[in-house]
């Protein structure tokens, strides 16, 4: 089969299975009675980021480290692009002005994790500790500590949309069905992931783009389709806390995925073998998250869109980041 057809078939399977993972993950999370930020930032975020983790694992095993890391950085950028489009799609007051301030904890954690990953990329990931680069170890520890902090601040805000108030805890039978569906969807991703990674690298070679840029654009868009589907459904339902928590939480999980990727990589640092030009993608990922935090924290009643770096500026920043990464990795 030609590379483009393998890419479409395996990418479609990963996207469909990832969307089912997110839906069943949400059901499982609601069955525990946890809050909206916790559900979105941790459980649903982990479910929608599972395609990145499994696909990038196979990319590393196939000797394509730049493809894997490029996918992680590109997915973070793509998630913020989805957040900007979702914010633009909601009428005044916009979505980011209606979520609780504690959502900023998730975004701040994502920026911290990406800063560590960027420093590690610039430093070549050295020195290695027990055969693992120090940045993934620090990121892994910081992610666990950050999730603990989010758990302690998981209380629901005073303001909640009607859809969030009406969310009913699912029955035990529904949770049981969700567990089965979650397991089947995960199995589909496990089977399709190696084909998606291999075909993306081959497709990138055929159209004349680098391995890292293929990961940042082609692979990142494909593995981010579950986040797009979940965001579309949750915005339509008015569950804005779930939307924002899922997208920011997915960025945190993407950075934490560096640790298992470095483990399967073998001796030496994974980041030492990654194209240095991908640092631009990491920097723009941090910029986009910072712009999202500005909108979340800005609770002024009167807003002046001309002087505020809102979602439209985030879209422009995303396109600029993709272009500059292409120039530096070509």
The tens place of each residue's pLDDT in the chain, 330 residues long, gives 788 898 889 888 888 887 777 677 667 766 765 555 556 567 777 777 888 888 899 889 988 999 999 999 999 999 999 998 888 887 666 777 777 677 788 889 999 999 999 999 998 766 777 778 889 999 999 999 988 887 776 555 444 555 554 556 677 888 888 888 878 887 887 788 788 878 888 888 888 888 889 989 888 988 888 788 778 777 776 777 778 888 888 899 999 999 999 999 888 788 888 998 999 999 999 999 999 888 888 765 455 555 556 788 899 999 999 999 999 887
Extents of the domains making up the chain: 3-329
Q: Residues 83-115, buried b or exposed e (16+ Cβ, 10 A)?
A: bbbbbeebeeebbbbbbbebbbbbbbbbbbbbb
For the domain bounded by 3-329, which CATH number is listed? 1.20.1420.30
What is this structure's pTM? 0.83
- Provide, for the chain, the percentages of residues in helix, strand and coil under a 3-state DSSP scheme, each rounded to the nearest 5: 80, 0, 20
Q: How far apart are CA 222 and CA 199, in angstroms?
A: 12
Give burial (CB, 10 Å; 0-12/13-18/19+) of 208. exposed
């Amino acid at each position: 089969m030609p590379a483009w057809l393998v890419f479409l078939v395996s990418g479609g399977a990963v996207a469909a299975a990832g969307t089912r993972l997110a839906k069943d993950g949400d059901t499982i999370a609601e069955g525990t009675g946890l809050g909206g930020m916790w559900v979105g930032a941790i459980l649903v975020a982990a479910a929608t980021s599972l395609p990145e983790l499994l696909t990038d694992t196979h990319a590393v095993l196939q000797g394509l480290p730049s493809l894997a890391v490029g996918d992680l950085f590109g997915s973070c950028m793509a998630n913020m692009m989805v957040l900007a489009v979702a914010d633009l799609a909601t009428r005044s007051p916009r979505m980011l002005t209606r979520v609780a301030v504690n959502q900023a904890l998730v975004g701040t954690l994502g920026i911290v994790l990406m800063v560590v990953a960027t420093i590690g990329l610039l430093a070549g990931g050295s020195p290695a500790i027990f055969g693992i680069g120090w940045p993934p170890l620090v990121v892994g520890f910081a992610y666990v500590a950050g999730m603990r902090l989010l758990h302690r601040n998981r209380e629901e805000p005073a303001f909640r949309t009607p859809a969030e108030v009406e969310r009913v805890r699912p029955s035990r039978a529904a949770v049981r069905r969700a567990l089965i569906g979650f397991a089947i969807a995960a199995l589909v991703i496990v089977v399709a992931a190696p084909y998606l990674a291999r075909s993306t690298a081959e497709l990138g070679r055929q159209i004349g783009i680098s391995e890292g840029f293929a990961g940042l654009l082609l692979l990142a868009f494909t593995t981010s389709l579950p986040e797009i589907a979940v965001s579309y459904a949750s915005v339509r339902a008015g569950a804005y806390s779930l939307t924002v928590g899922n997208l920011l939480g997915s960025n945190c999980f993407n950075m934490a995925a560096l640790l298992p990727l470095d483990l399967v990589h073998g001796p030496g640092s994974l980041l030492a073998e990654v194209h240095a030009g991908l640092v631009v993608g990491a920097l723009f990922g941090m910029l986009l998250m910072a712009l999202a935090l500005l909108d979340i924290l800005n609770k002024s009643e009167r807003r002046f869109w001309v002087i505020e770096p809102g979602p439209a500026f985030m879209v422009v920043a995303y396109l600029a980041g993709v272009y500059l990464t292409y120039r530096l990795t070509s």
